Amino acid sequence: VDLLAALVADPQARAVEVLARAAVEPRAVTAGVARYFEPAS
């Protein structure tokens, strides 16, 4: 999960292009990773 977040953090990364072709917004991936690591309340 950390690796995916790091890959999409760089707008020039190939992972960002691949996600865009799959109609996945890189910012949505980053937000999902952040939610994954938030402590449960």
Label residues 5-27 b or e (16+ Cβ within 10 Å = b): bebbeeeeeebbeebeeeeeebe
Q: Which residue has the tokens 């109609």?
A: 23
Q: How does pLDDT run across 1-41, given as a tens digit for each residue?
A: 677 777 778 888 888 888 889 898 888 888 888 888 877 76
The count of residues in the chain is 41
What pLDDT shows up at residue 1? 65
Q: Tell me, rounded to whole angstroms, the distance of Cα 35 from its chain centroid.
A: 11
What pLDDT shows up at residue 37? 80
What pLDDT shows up at residue 41? 65
